[in-house]
Structure 1
Amino acid sequence: MRVQTILAHPLPDSFAAAVHRTAADTLRDAGHEVAETDLYAQGFEPALTAAERAAYHRPDYDTTAVAPLVERLRWADALVLVYPHWWFDMPAIMKGYFDRVWAPGVAFRHDPAGGTIRPLLTNLRHVAVLTSFGSPWWINALGLRHPSRRILRVGVVGACAPKARFHWRALYDMDRSTPDTRARFLAAAAADMRRLG
């Protein structure tokens, strides 16, 4: 299987970077073809430009500025997204990846009649998220009802890649994590990657 892993963390020695390395290495060891993407390291610009927004509903929407990422998205059978949650949401650079790369003509097609969008990412069989939260699980689950997971699973992946199986693994209470809890998470993430596909 062809898998694109995407890291969204500015520090190369972060726990997210360690999770990303574990995921990519495990996938390769399992025989998958892996393309690694580090959004910060490659200097990805997350802000939708004025020209991109102005052309968003035109049939000839231009993705030239993000062409390598579009090519990788179309190439992949699976995506593995690795990022922390800050203020209960993905980092701005990851949100910008969806804004700019999961674009019209790439991830979906607008309905000319103004109805629901038409999905185009029929190549994706799996989308996995490996993430962390500074807060305990119950704040996100009971207090907020997992907003970012619901938005990504239903509003983004569900709308653009409805055939993809959605996988989620989160380390909660990261601010008080220990070497043992982090090691257990890395082992669980590796097991998830071995089961992927």
Structure 2
Amino acid sequence: MPRTILILNGHPDPSGKGLCHALGEAYAEGARTAGHEVRRLDVASLDFDFLRSQAAFESEAPPPTIIAAQADVLWANHLVVIFPLWLGDMPAMLKAFFEQVLRPGFAFSYRPRGFPVMHLKGRSARIIVTMGMPALVYRWYYQAHGLKNLARNVLGFVGFAPVRDTIVGSVATRGRESIGRVLEKVRELGRRAV
């Protein structure tokens, strides 16, 4: 069954080059060949500010680029988030993007007691993280805290499930063939829309 897929490139470099961009291209290519609809969004190309207060998060109207991004999130039933690991977590620009997009009223609603109401249920996600260290070191020694935070405390909090992940480690020391295998694996994920 064809799916609607939003691919979010969370790399803050607006040049559109590099491995994160190539991974997004590979996923999109695989998805399109399998008949899925794909939209792409590069966080680095968007104009928005960091939120600086709880009042701004809860009450201020989002800027037009964020309203458009929210429409893309609503359109998609599968979200792919791609980013490089910086200081153990996602880059600040990507975190600021999620804070802008996943606001109360859009992504969730508060309740007087208990857990908030999740507005984005029925959508799945795939997180693809690139990093310099080996993937096993990040997953087992560092416990993949940045990845788990995004999966559970951001995407899971607003209803995305399941949230799967792919870690691409040792990116600086991989050869062309190794990168080619990674891109083919991601292309296959796109074909399967998982």
Please confirm whether the aligned pair reaches a TM-score higher than 0.5, indicating the same fold.
yes
Aligned length: 189
User: Quick one: which of 10, 17, 20 aligns to 1:16?
Assistant: 20
Q: Quick one: which amino acid aligns to residue 176 of structure 1?
A: T
Q: Quick one: which amino acid aligns to residue 159 of structure 1?
A: F
> How far did 1:77 drift?
0.6
How far does the alpha carbon of each residue in 1:99-118 deviate from its partner, in whole angstroms, 9 at most, with x for none? 100111111111234x3222
User: 2:140 maps to which residue?
Assistant: 142
Are 2:6 and 1:4 aligned?
Answer: yes
- C-alpha contact (below 8 Å) 2:27/2:188 kept by paired residues: no
- C-alpha contact (below 8 Å) 1:76/1:123 kept by paired residues: no
Structure 2: runs of 5 or more not aligned: none
- Matches of 2:134 and 2:63, distance apart in 1: 41
User: Quick one: which of 177, 181, 189 aligns to 2:186?
Assistant: 189
User: 1:63 maps to which residue?
Assistant: 62
Structure 1: runs of 5 or more not aligned: none
- C-alpha contact (below 8 Å) 1:46/1:92 kept by paired residues: no
Q: Quick one: which amino acid aligns to residue 154 of structure 2?
A: V
How far does the alpha carbon of each residue in 1:101-154 deviate from its partner, in whole angstroms, 9 at most, with x for none? 0111111111234x3222110241x20112211112243123211102211221
| 18 and 57 in structure 1: CA distance in 2 versus 1, 3 angstrom threshold | closer
Identity %: 23
Are 2:162 and 1:165 aligned?
Answer: yes
Q: Quick one: which amino acid aligns to residue 122 of structure 1?
A: K
User: 1:133 maps to which residue?
Assistant: 131
User: Quick one: which of 13, 33, 36 aligns to 2:37?
Assistant: 33
User: 1:90 maps to which residue?
Assistant: 90
- C-alpha contact (below 8 Å) 1:44/1:93 kept by paired residues: no
CA RMSD of superposed structures (Å): 1.9
Q: Quick one: which amino acid aligns to residue 93 of structure 2?
A: I
1:121 alignment partner, SS class: coil
Q: Quick one: which amino acid aligns to residue 174 of structure 2?
A: S
- C-alpha contact (below 8 Å) 2:30/2:189 kept by paired residues: no
Q: Quick one: which amino acid aligns to residue 20 of structure 1?
A: G
> How far did 1:57 drift?
4.2
User: 1:72 maps to which residue?
Assistant: 72
| 132 and 8 in structure 1: CA distance in 2 versus 1, 3 angstrom threshold | same
- C-alpha contact (below 8 Å) 1:27/1:34 kept by paired residues: yes
